[in-house]
């Protein structure tokens, strides 16, 4: 079963995504940018669902950039899942290597469909 890393400081958001995805994928969760990077290295997920706004030293955009620059973690699909809905945030995320951008609130089924279309 393919692994998905959920990265969000909101326990409720992680729970919603976990419930939606756990029948299709193995799920691992991170609450901060620092945890996300170490878990991406340790678990080598096939996809990462990444929030932008998180506590700590690293926000989601910094995590995205770090994961894409690290040869050991650069391969997974990465979807940004965030409440930030500006074109600037979306464009920057895509420039940094995001494969998709979902704005909260979102349909969890859209994420399932996107994952199913893009994970081979």
Q: What is the pLDDT of residue 88?
A: 93
Q: What is the pLDDT of residue 75?
A: 79
Q: What is the pLDDT of residue 96?
A: 96
Q: What is the pLDDT of residue 9?
A: 95
Which residue is associated with the tokens 């419930």?
Answer: 19
**The tokens of 39 are what?**
């878990």
Give whole-number Cα distances, 78 to 25, 94, 103, in Å.
15, 10, 14
Q: What is the pLDDT of residue 90?
A: 95
pTM of the model: 0.95
pLDDT in tens, the chain (120 residues): 999 999 999 999 999 999 999 999 999 999 999 999 999 999 999 999 999 999 889 999 999 999 999 988 877 999 999 999 999 999 999 999 999 999 999 899 999 999 999 997
Of 88, 87, 91, 84, whose CA–CA distance to 50 is shortest? Answer: 84
Contacts of residue 93, defined as CB under 8 A and 6 or more positions apart, other chains included, come to 52, 61, 64, 80, 101
Domain 3-118: what homologous superfamily? Response regulator (3.40.50.2300)
Per domain, the residue ranges of the chain are 3-118
- Span between the terminal Cα atoms of the chain, in Å: 11
Q: What is the pLDDT of residue 73?
A: 85
Which residue is associated with the tokens 């859209």?
Answer: 110
């Amino acid at each position: 079963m393919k692994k998905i890393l959920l990265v969000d400081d909101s326990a409720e958001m992680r729970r919603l995504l976990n419930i939606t995805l756990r029948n299709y994928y193995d799920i691992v969760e991170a609450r901060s940018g620092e945890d996300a990077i170490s878990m991406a290295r340790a678990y080598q997920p096939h996809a990462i669902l990444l929030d932008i706004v998180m506590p700590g030293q690293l926000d989601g955009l910094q995590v995205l950039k770090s994961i894409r620059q690290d040869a050991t973690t650069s391969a997974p699909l990465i979807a940004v899942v965030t409440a930030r809905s500006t074109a600037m945030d979306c464009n920057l995320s895509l420039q940094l290597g995001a494969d998709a951008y979902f704005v909260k609130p979102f349909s969890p089924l859209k994420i399932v469909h996107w994952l199913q279309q893009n994970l081979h």
